[in-house]
Structure 1
C-alpha cells in the first residue's frame, strides 16, 4: 500500500506550445464569411460598391448587369466593360465595348439620362469626379483619355499622349483636378484637367492594369505584370516594389480607416487576394480563390468584400459589425444595472443573497486536493507489467502518452522486457506507431533508439510473418523519405549561404 500511495503517475510528454500563426489582421479578415456565391455565364469584369449606405454594388459579366440587394438584373444592348457609381450613389455610369457611347442611368429607375459619344473603341475605364457631380474622365482602347461634361454630353478636354490601350486611372483626393491613367504602353501619366497635356510621366516597365492614389495624394500604387510599385509622386521615384504575386495583378484597393486600419488589397490572375500593411508593405493576410481574379472591390465601411473570377464565379463575403454588437451589449448591461431591484429584509430573497456571489480578489480560498485518477498503464506499471503497460499506451493512440510510457520504461531499464514476447498483432501496432511518428522532430530523439531496440529484440519474429515484413518495409520507406528531405534541406541551406555571402560582398 505504501508503494502504491507513493507512486507518481506517468504524465503526458510536455512540449513547447507553438506560436499562434494568426495575427490581428488574419483574425480580422477571417471574419469575412461567404454569404453570396453566384455563377455568372461569363467572366466577371467589374465590381463596384455604392459609396453610400447600405453599399449596394453592381457587377458586369458580358451583357449582364447585376445589382446586388436590388432584386433586378437586366441586359444592356452592348457588352459592358466598366461600371461605376457617382459619389452620391444616385447615378451609375457604364462604359461600352463599342466605345461609341457611355450610358448614364438612374440606379433606381434604370432610365438612360445621357449618352456620351466620342471614343472609337472600347471604353475600359470611367470614373466620376470626386469634387463635383458634373464631370467624368474616361480611358479607351483608342489610346485617348477624355474629360467629359455630363450635362452637355461633350468632351471638354482630350488627352492623346498614350500610345496604347488605356486600361485604368485614379483620382487624386488631395488635389482636385489631378488624375493619373495607366496604359499598355508601360507608362503612367498624370493629367491636370485644366490643360490638354500631361504634367508628369512614370515608367512602370509593364502593361498597366490598375493605378491607385493614396489618401494623402503623395503616394501612388501601380499594378503591371506581377509587380506592384509604390511611387513618391512628388519626387517621381519608386519607394518599394511588391513582387508577391506569380501572375498579373489586376486590381488594387485601399480600405478605409476602420477596425483593421488602412490596408492595401491586391488581386491577381494567380487566384490570390493579398492584404498589405501600408506602414511597411508586408503581407499580413492572403486568401485563395478557385480561379483567376479579374474584379475586386471592398465596401467603404469595410464590411463586404466582392471578388469576380474569369470562370464567372462571384464571391461576396460579409463581416458582422463587432463594434455595434459590443455597444448593444454595454447598453443592455447599463440598463440592467439601473433597473436592479433593491432587496429589503421584508423580502424572502433578502436572506438568500450572496449564495451565487463570486469570490473577490481579497477573499482567501481553501482549495481541495483532488486525487489524480490513474490510467490503465499506470496500474500496469505499478505491477511491473511492462509489456501490458506499453500495449495499453498504444491503444490510447495518443503519441504523448506512448512517448511518456517509453521514457518511463527506459528509466526503469524495462524497455527490452516490454518488447520481448510480443505477438504478431502487437508488433504490427508498435511498428505502425513508429512508422507514423519516428520522423517527427518532437519524438525522434526517443523513438529512433526505441526502433533499434525493437529490431534487435524481435528480429526473429519478422521473418515468420508476411504482414510484419510489410510494416518493416513501410518503416524503412518513411526513414528513407526523411533522410532525403534532410539532405535536400542541407543542400538548400548551402545554396542560401552562398547567395547571402555574395550579397554581403
Structure 2
C-alpha cells in the first residue's frame, strides 16, 4: 500500500514583537487632528464635567468655549483687562471662573456670558482658578503674590487664605477624595504644600510639605486621595501622602514638564488608569499607574503648555506655545461601528466583489450525500473512504520540492531563486528559501547544493543572503551559509569582479549590523549604570 508524499512544511520562525500593542492602538485611535491657531499660547484647557463635555480654552485675553460635538467655538468670553488665565467650568456646567494678569477673578454665566462676581483681593496675576468638584459654592485661586485662597460664592467672601510659599504659586487644585476641603498647591519655590482649611490658621503652616530642586509647574492628585504627582523640572515625582515619602520619579522628558492630566482608559482590551505628561520638548508621555512605565508617546510640533482629556475619552486637547491648539478625536461606540461598516463597504466597492450566492448541489452530489452512512445527530464532519477525494485534498508539490525529493539539491535552490534570470532574487519567498535551506542543513546537503557553481549560479545566492542576513529570524542559518560560501569560493573572489563586488556588499552589511550591535550594548550598559546610580 503506497502513501501519498506530503509537501514539505514551511519552517516555523520565531514570532516577532507585535507591531502595535493594545495600548498603542487605543491612543492612536485619537485621530482627526484639528489644528487651530490662537493669538497667544494656550495656557489652560478644561472640559465640562457634564455631558456633552464642552471645553474651555484660555488664550491671550479671552476664554473660548468649544463644542464637544463640532469642535468649533460656540461662545467667546473676552471681558478681561489683561491676559486671562485658567478658565474653569463648574461641575454643573453653568458657570465659569477665570483670573487675569491684573489679579482680578471673575465668575461668568455660560449661557448669557454675564459677570456674576468680581473679586480683587490678589495684587498680582491670578494664574489658577478652579471650582470645587463637590461644592457648587466653593472657588479656589492661586496667585503670583504667593497666596492661595478659598472663596465662598454666595457671600463673595474669602473663607481661607493660605500663606507659606516664598515665590509664585502657579498650580493648585482640590485633592480628589470624599473630603474636598483639602487643597494642593505648588510654587516656584520648589515646594508642594497640602492645606486643610479646617485646621489652618495664620500661625500654623501647611499640613504637609514636599520639596523639589526646581520650580513646580503642575500638581495632580490621583483618585483616592493618597497619591500626588508633581511636575518639577523635567521630572514627574510620585508622592505617597499616607507615608509622606517619594514613591518614584519619572525622568522621561528632556525639558520642563508643564502639564499633567489623568485618563481612565476604557477599551476592549484595556481598562486602566493612565497619566499624561506634556513638556516643553513637545512630547506627551503616557504612563500606567501600576509600574509607572511609559506605554505610549505622542510628538507635537511645538513646546506644550497645557493638555487635557475629556471625561468620556473622546477628545485629547493639547495647547502649545505660539498659540497652536491641537484637538484629536477618538472614534468609539456607535460611531466606531458606523465607521467600520462604511470602511467595509468601501473595500467591497473598491475590490468590485460580486454578490455571493449560496451554491446548490447538483443531482450527482445530492445523491452521493444521500448515500452516506448516517453518523449521528449534529455531526460536523463525515468521513468516507474516497481515494480520489483524498488525492484532490493534497496540495500539489512545487517544482523545487520535487527536485528536493529527487536529491537534486542544487537544482532545487536554483529553481527557488530563479537562477539565470535578472532582478528576480528579491521576489523569492524568504520563508520558502529558509525552509529549503533548513531541509538541506538537516540532510547535510548545504555544501552539495552550493558546490560546483560558476559566477551566474553563485551571485543570486550571495545577493539573497546579503538582503536577508540582517533579519533576526534568519541570521543564524544565513551566517552558516555565508561562511560556507567563503570557505568554498574564497580563492575565486579576486578572479571575478562581479563576485568580488557581491562579497564586498555582504561584508559591508555584516559590518554595519555588528556596529549596531556594539552601539546597542554600549547604550544598554550606560542605561544600566544610570539606573544603578539613581537607585
TM-score w.r.t. the length of structure 2 is 0.75
Q: Does 1:68 align with 2:66?
A: yes
CA contact (8 A) 1:419 1:458 kept: no
Match of 1:130 in 2: 133
Aligned-residue offset at 1:127: 0.5
Q: Output the CA distance in 1 between the equivalents of 2:8 and 2:246.
A: 61
Q: Is 1:248 aligned with 2:248?
A: no
CA 403–466 in structure 1, closer or farther in 2 if over 3 Å, else same: same
Hey, what's the Cα distance between the residues in 1 that align with 2:455 and 2:6?
A: 29
In structure 2, which of residues 209, 213, 216 is the aligned counterpart of residue 208 of structure 1?
A: 216
What is aligned with 1:335? none
Q: Is the 8 A contact 1:218 1:234 kept in 2?
A: yes
Alignment match, 2:381: 365
Does residue 287 in structure 1 map to residue 303 in structure 2?
Answer: no
Q: Distance in 1 between matches of 2:478 and 2:493?
A: 19
Given the alignment, which residue of 225, 228, 236 partners 1:220? 228
Residues 55-64 or 194-203, more deviating: 194-203
* Alignment match of 1:180 (pick from 184, 187, 190): 184
Q: Which residue of 1 aligns with 2:163?
A: 160
Provide the rounded CA distance (Å) in 2 between the counterparts of 1:502 and 1:486. 24
- Cα distance change on mapping 1:244 and 1:393 into 2, 3 Å: same
Mapped pair 1:319 → 2:342 = no
- 1:303-345 Cα deviation digits (max 9, x unpaired): 322122235443323334448989xxxxxxxxxxxxxxxxxxx
Tell me if structure 1 keeps the 8 A contact 2:455–2:499. no
Whether contact under 8 Å (1:221, 1:231) holds in the other structure is yes
1:263 corresponds to: 274
Deviations 1:193-242 (A, max 9, x none): 45444432322313111112233223322221232223333443223333
- Secondary structure of the structure 2 residue equivalent to 1:185: coil
Change (3 A) 1:261 1:144: same
Alignment partner of 1:304 is 2:315: yes
Verify: 1:191 aligned to 2:195, yes or no. Answer: yes
Q: Closer, same or farther in 2 for the Cα pair 1:37/1:464, shift >3 Å?
A: farther
1:335-354 equivalences under 5 Å are none
CA distance in 2, matches of 1:311, 1:420: 69
Residues 439 and 229 of structure 1, relative CA distance in 2, 3 Å threshold: same
Equivalent residue number for residue 91 of structure 2:
87
Q: How far 1:75 sits from its partner (Å)?
A: 7.1
- Counterpart in 2 of 1:483? 514
For 2:92 and 2:166, locate their aligned partners in 1 and report how far apart those are by CA, in whole Å. 34
d(CA) in 1 for partners of 2:376, 2:155: 75
Q: What SS does the aligned partner of 2:206 have?
A: strand
State which of 166, 170, 176 in structure 1 corresponds to 2:173: 170
CA distance in 2, matches of 1:114, 1:501: 55
The match for 2:148 among 145, 149, 162 is: 145
Where do 5+ consecutive residues of structure 2 fail to align? 338-374, 384-388, 418-424
Partner SS for 1:401 = helix
| Worse-superposed segment, 398-407 or 271-280 | 271-280
2:194 counterpart SS class: strand
RMSD between aligned residues: 3.6
Q: What TM-score does the superposition give when structure 1 sets the normalisation length?
A: 0.79
Preserved contact between residue 219 and residue 229 of structure 2 (Cα < 8 Å): yes
Relative to structure 1, the CA distance from residue 284 to residue 483 in structure 2 (aligned partners, 3 Å threshold; closer, same or farther) is closer
1:369-406 alpha-carbon deviations (Å, 9 max, x no partner): 41212234224445665445324423443222112222
Whether the 8 Å CA contact 1:228–1:242 is kept in 2: the answer is: yes
The alpha carbon displacement at 1:423 in A equals 4.3
d(CA) in 2 for partners of 1:311 and 1:485?
Answer: 39
User: 1:127 aligns to what SS in structure 2?
Assistant: strand
- Cα separation, partners in 2 of 1:422 and 1:386, compared to 1, 3 Å: farther
Q: How many residues align?
A: 467
| Partners of 2:49 and 2:93 within 8 A in 1 | yes
Q: For residues 501 and 222 of structure 1, what CA distance do their matches in structure 2 show? A: 23
1:38 alignment partner in structure 2: 36
CA deviation after TM superposition for structure 1 residue 503, in Å: 10
CA contact (8 A) 1:11 1:401 kept: no
Partner of 2:398: 375
Q: Distance in 2 between matches of 1:456 and 1:303?
A: 62
- SS, match of residue 313 in structure 2: coil
Please give the alpha-carbon distance, in whole angstroms, between the structure 1 residues aligned to 2:530 and 2:63.
52
Q: What SS does structure 1 have at the residue aligned with 2:207?
A: strand
Structure 1 residues 118 and 371: alpha-carbon distance in aligned structure 2, compared to 1, 3 A threshold: same
Residues 164 and 206, structure 2, Cα contact 8 Å, conserved in 1: no
Name whichever of 151-160 and 39-48 sits farther off: 151-160
Task: Answer yes or no: is the 8 Å Cα contact 1:99–1:140 preserved in 2.
Answer: no
Runs of 5+ in structure 1 lacking a partner? 327-358
Describe the SS at the equivalent of 2:484: helix
Tell whether the 8 Å contact from 2:192 to 2:209 is kept in structure 1 after alignment: yes
Segment of structure 1 superposing worse, 228-237 or 380-389: 380-389
Pick closer, same or farther for the CA change 1:389–1:500 going to 2, 3 Å: same
CA distance in 2 between partners of 1:499 and 1:68 (Å): 45
- Would you say the 8 A contact 2:413–2:449 is kept in 1? no
